[in-house]
Amino acid sequence: MARGPAGAAAVLGPLLWGCALALQGGMLYPRESPSRERKELDGLWSFRADFSDNRRQGFEQQWYRTPLRESGPTLDMPVPSSFNDVGQDGRLRGFVGWVWYEREVTLPQRWTQDLGTRVVLRIGSAHYYAIVWVNGVHVAEHEGGHLPFEADVSKLVQSGPLSSCRITIAINNTLTPHTLPPGTILYQKDTSKYPKGYFVQNTHFDFFNYAGLHRPVLLYTTPTIYIDDITITTGMDQNTGLVNYKVFVQGSEHFQLEVRLLDEEGKVVAQGTGGQGQLQVPSAYLWWPYLMHEHPAYLYSLEVRLTAQTAAGPVSDFYALPVGIRTVAVTENQFLINGKPFYFHGVNKHEDADIRGKGFDWPLLVKDFNLLRWLGANSFRTSHYPYAEEVMQLCDRYGIVVIDESPGVGIVLTQSYSNVSLQHHLEVMEELVRRDKNHPAVVMWSVANEPASYLKPAGYYFKTLIAHTKDLDPSRPVTFVTNSNYEADLGAPYVDVICVNSYYSWYHDYGHMEVIQLQLATQFEKWYRTYQKPIIQSEYGAETIAGFHQDPPLMFSEEYQKGLLEQYHLVLDQKRKEYVVGELIWNFADFMTDQSPQRAMGNKKGIFTRQRQPKGAAFLLRERYWKLANETRYHGSAVKSQCVGNSPFTF
Ligand code: GCB
């Protein structure tokens, strides 16, 4: 990578606050600007699943070489969407192996003829392993189903007379002990019971392994000398907001950079030059969580302008990044945002809905945020993998605080603690931090959910993983979510906040709500006594079939869900006065899982149905969350009186 004139420390290179990353380049969200264009490729793609016995026919016959329709029959497949639930072929729903997507794109003439234009293909997420060709030429490979990746395709689209290009993406959803999440393929060899070659995919997590192109695919342009990445951290000095920036440039060593910070009215409040610096904003408006302040989620805009001289003439690139000024800190018994105690009253979610599976969908997303705000939820955890970038953007805009979780769910096999697995997990954290580091809504990283953290190698694994994550981003606390016993947990010594899941009177002592208070209080006391760290009840809940009623309550009825929640709340109300800093219900909505005798068409612990209709518990939680909001709201003086943010989401 090149270095700019602003000084070696200033810019460039895969360095984020001093820790060597394996990753090359940035992953800025593609935004339109005077120097950048976008072309969305959502819609219908051609599709074929490779049902051959070894699932490799597509490679043997090189399906990427010619249009997919020439190598066999194709289906219409919507993008973004999971492929599993859109068809009528039962074999496709549970398909394991390679599927092939293809799309022909017509490009604007300037993109194919102007050699000063860089054309980039960006895939928001392809679950799980993806190989990409453009016009039959291999351009990218990516492992991991929840984070974006890109390929510079300029040379390919600018090399011939064609004004169109053919994009082929092969995706494999197989999970192995070394993928994240891990899984195993079980071959059944007993031919008296199973047909020849029979295998199934086993996983150790509780959601359906939907697959396909789950998030937007697009082409975008930049100039050939371009802003590759920006890293922001923020702070406060009395009333002055501090915005530390680093800008990373690619394509030349000779350029100038100007940065300007604009408030919500478009007024410039600070400016600077060079690839690194600190902007000072007198009387800054802080980014506050929803319901913590009258004007939550105040966002400035950091405008970065790059100019360079080339033999062909001047080049400029322009990128605008939303910036929220806020601080995060953790004490022995508090979680602080802008120096004030913050109590998480929120949910755990899934990216999950009828038909589209994990496919990104704007109406669904906006509905979910409207429900969160109705509920009085101020936060959620991205259980159990990173969510779409557009979700994180809405969190920034609405003030919904996020615990950003990696796909490290179901790490229970010894093999999944090997060096190969750890290396991949480290890389995933690098990709996640690179993508989400600038979101003010993200206040903590979660490296995993319910790993077998009592296994011997777990101590080294989590020590390394958490240390690396802190090196990548010293500005945020790090956790992982545990369900193990406080004294057996080998990862807990390394986390900043204890996040603990428990299901009293559901998976244990089922039907006996009378034990909840005692068991929950004991849980909190033991964890706190051992570690003296703030605790979040990161999951609790009960399976509930909407419309099942039983009084006195029985399991699976709406009354039982409410009753169980109420028992938890009694203890949470005591312990939040001491060191409990949050409660996240499991789950926001019902969601699809693998088929099993324990699951009736998926997990039904939602307080909303999968179609986002409330169960009785949603009203109970709504009353509680609004009460908590009114109790914990910050009635600050200085900052409050200066805030003029125009966010409509006041209360
Ligand atoms: C858990 C898991 C979550 C499951 C949930 C349940 O502890 O973290 O993924 O869905 O329990 O309902 O069993």
Instruction: Give me the numbers of helices (H) and strands (E) for the chain, helices first please.
Output: 12, 34
CB of 602 within 8 A of CB of 592?
Answer: yes
Backbone angles phi, psi at 375, to 5 degrees: -70, -20
133 lines ligand 1 (CB under 6 A): no
Q: In the chain, helix, strand, coil percent, each to 5?
A: 20, 30, 45
Cβ contact 71:63 at 8 Å: yes
CA of 206 to the centre of ligand 1 (A): 6
- pLDDT value of position 88: 95
3-state SS, residue 252? coil
Q: Is 450 a catalytic residue?
A: yes
DSSP state of 1: -
Q: What is the pLDDT of residue 21?
A: 47
Please tell me if the CB atom of residue 450 comes closer than 6 angstroms to any atom of ligand 1.
yes
What backbone phi and psi angles, to 5 degrees, belong to 272? -160, 175
Per-residue DSSP letter, 48: E
Catalytic residue among 405, 450, 539, 543: 450
* Helix or strand (DSSP H, E) at 60: helix 57-60
Centre of ligand 1 from the C-alpha of residue 441, in Å: 24
Q: Where do runs of H (alpha helix) occur along 124-258?
A: 154-157
Ranges in the chain, pLDDT < 70:
1-22, 635-651
| pLDDT tens digit sequence for 158-174 | 987 777 899 999 999 99
Which is the closest atom of ligand 1 to the Cα of 449?
8
| pLDDT for the residue numbered 635 | 57
Both structure tokens of 352: 């999950």
The answer, yes or no, to whether any atom of ligand 1 lies below 6 A from the CB of 348, is no
Report yes or no: 126 and 360 within 8 Å, Cβ to Cβ: no
Alpha-carbon distance 314 to 607, whole Å? 57
pLDDT at 472: 97
**613-634 pLDDT, tens per residue?**
999 999 999 999 999 999 877 7
> Does residue 228's CB lie within 6 angstroms of at least one atom of ligand 1?
no
Using CA atoms, how far apart are residues 307 and 364, in angstroms rounded to an integer?
40
